[in-house]
Structure 1
């Protein structure tokens, strides 16, 4: 018995000395094309939404939002397992005002690219942005080696200035939080009419690979499915508004049985209905045609 233990001990010691790789807590990395990885936010982690990782000829570009320090640290570690190139650029796709703990702890040497609306929102925080920032109005194309990275400011949608990222070379589209795939996400700062129109525009791109803001990687079919949900959600809210019901009555009578089992449906039930109800009531006050909102 002792002889067997003496033989096994060196092997046991070898395995104990191997470096232990901690399991991902916030993101699951998935390669989706030659140059692009999707960092899919794990439900139990601190990452609020997915991120896009683009490997260029000599550096890495991150795209996304809701970046918290813990998730950024893990994301950089995950990137280092993929490539030795440094993260030099970050495309910040949107920011919600009042959230000083997100989007301000990015790699210090990275340049930020964002829409002017997102910059206004980020710059309103009491914490200061330390990174160099490039702000654009409508669109911006980054040419990085053979990769064309097209940034589009979609204007009002999930936020006041959502940026979508498209790589035509590889037919990969990153929608940020304009798209939730198989889940219901936060819509509390959304502009519902504009959001629907933006989804229609994104659907028309028929991208082969679509990285949503929340949920698993999909294709243009995922955009179509979410567009159906948005129309049904808004139609149901509008039905109660047109009946003259107040917000409490609308919440009580609201019913979308086909979607109520989706992750996030109950979590964001109140805030999402409040946002849509407020927009439609404002439309009524301003005399807008009610039927156009959920076309």
Structure 2
């Protein structure tokens, strides 16, 4: 029997934290599991990231209700991945917002992503039977849009490709706080299986240019204060470059995927081996870096069958 993915054996319940990152702004974090964000406006609440199932989304709602009884009017999804979007129905929001590119990716590869993620990471799909189907937005945008929660303005922007081609960030100017989705992580591995290695560092620098007071990252603890913000941007950039360079060197000399895997491990294990979901992400990161080095610009669609085929090529 083939060796299972690292995440298939990860059944440990994570401790939830609900951290204020600005006035009326909160980060819902869970020890490296997918984060969500909360923006409280004058009359209603915006949620950032919906979790993988309605049951998990209800844990976010419980935290929201501990600080406000205002209705949830908007859900913003930074990208299309199943663990971020499939719990959206629980919030009962009037609007679900994605970039136009992210919506296209739901249509193109959303079901395949759901199927493959469900097999890779079963714990995150607790209560999966309550998912009504793929999550599509009610509202899309290109480049930038603003939502007004009463007087509070929320800017939703595409700053460049990184974790996916359709990534969005959410910026609250009155507090100088950003919700970055998986573009920025903290003591958690970046999942790069659908990423764009060449673009990612530049996108991080565009985030840095905001000179933010706090970030709610995609995974890991809330980043409060400019020192912590910049350290997380630096470590995310280091992770992306340290994954890409050794894999690219192997790919460009005609080496095998297994040789690229060994080269990436040699570079990344000493620096990132203790990061959350590191072992889970590694095979997908190596495969995507190998492809991008060979000028495959659009990430190939991951399916449950492709996952297994790739894992068999790497596991020995």
1:244-283 matches, within 5 Å, as 244-254=254-264, 255-256=266-267, 257-282=270-295
Instruction: Give the match for residue 7 of structure 1.
Output: none
Alignment CA distance shift 1:149-1:220 (3 Å): farther
Over alpha carbons, which structure has the higher Rg?
A: 1
* CA–CA distance in structure 2, aligned partners of residues 231 and 100 of structure 1: 25
- Provide structure 1 residue ranges, at least 5 long, that are not aligned to the other structure: 1-23, 285-295
Aligned residue pair count: 256
Instruction: Tell me the distance in 2 between the aligned counterparts of 1:188 and 1:283.
Output: 13
Separation of aligned partners in 2, 1:100 and 1:123 = 15
The CA distance in 2 between the partners of 1:191 and 1:66, in whole Å, is 23
Residues 66 and 95 in structure 1, CA contact (< 8 A), matched pair in contact too:
no
Higher helix share: 2
Query: What secondary structure is seen at the aligned counterpart in 2 of 1:226?
Result: helix
1:222 and 1:283 mapped to 2: Cα distance? 28
Deviation string, structure 1 residues 149-173 (Cα, Å, up to 9, x no partner): 1100235321120110111110101
Displacement of 1:100: 11
Determine if contact 2:146/2:156 at 8 Å carries over to the other structure.
Answer: yes
SS in 1 for 2:279: coil
Q: Measure, in 2, the Cα distance between the counterparts of 1:274 and 1:128.
A: 28
Helix, strand or coil for the counterpart of 1:266?
A: helix
135, 143, 150: which is aligned to 2:140?
Answer: 135
Which of 198, 208, 224 is residue 203 of structure 1 equivalent to? 208
Mapping for residues 3-18 of structure 1, pairs under 5 Å: none
Which range moves more in the overlay, 27-36 or 269-278?
27-36
**Among 95, 100, 109, which residue is 1:116 paired with?**
100
Contact 1:26 1:71 in 2 (8 A): no
Is the contact between residue 173 and residue 211 of structure 1 (CA under 8 Å) also seen in structure 2? yes
- C-alpha contact (below 8 Å) 2:183/2:204 kept by paired residues: yes
How large is the RMSD of aligned CA atoms in angstroms? Answer: 2.6
**Aligned equivalents of 1:177, 1:274: Cα separation in 2:** 19
* Equivalent residue, structure 2, for 1:243: 253
- 1:263 is paired with a residue of what secondary structure? coil
Whole-Å separation in 2 of the counterparts to 1:225 and 1:192: 14
Whole-Å separation in 1 of the counterparts to 2:45 and 2:279: 37
The list of structure 1 runs, each at least 4 consecutive aligned residues, that deviate by more than 4 angstroms after superposition, is: 123-132
Change (3 A) 1:130 1:183: closer
Q: Give the Cα–Cα distance (whole angstroms) in 2 for the partners of residues 30 and 100 of structure 1.
A: 19
TM-score normalised over the length of structure 1? 0.78
- For the pair 1:89 / 2:74, whether they are aligned, the reply is yes
Q: Which blocks of at least 5 consecutive residues in structure 2 are unaligned?
A: 1-12, 112-131, 224-228, 298-316
**1:41-120 to 2 correspondences below 5 Å:** 41-43=30-32, 48-96=33-81, 102-120=86-104
For residues 27 and 123 of structure 1, the distance between their equivalents in structure 2, rounded to whole angstroms, comes to 32
Structure 1 residues 41-94: Cα deviation after superposition (integer angstroms, max 9, x where no partner): 345xxxx51111001011111012544212111111211111111111111111
SS at match of 2:89: coil
**Which of 170, 175, 195 is equivalent to 2:175?**
170
CA contact (8 A) 1:181 1:222 kept: yes
Stretch of structure 1 that moved more, 120-129 or 58-67: 120-129
Inter-partner Cα distance in structure 2 for 1:262 and 1:131: 32
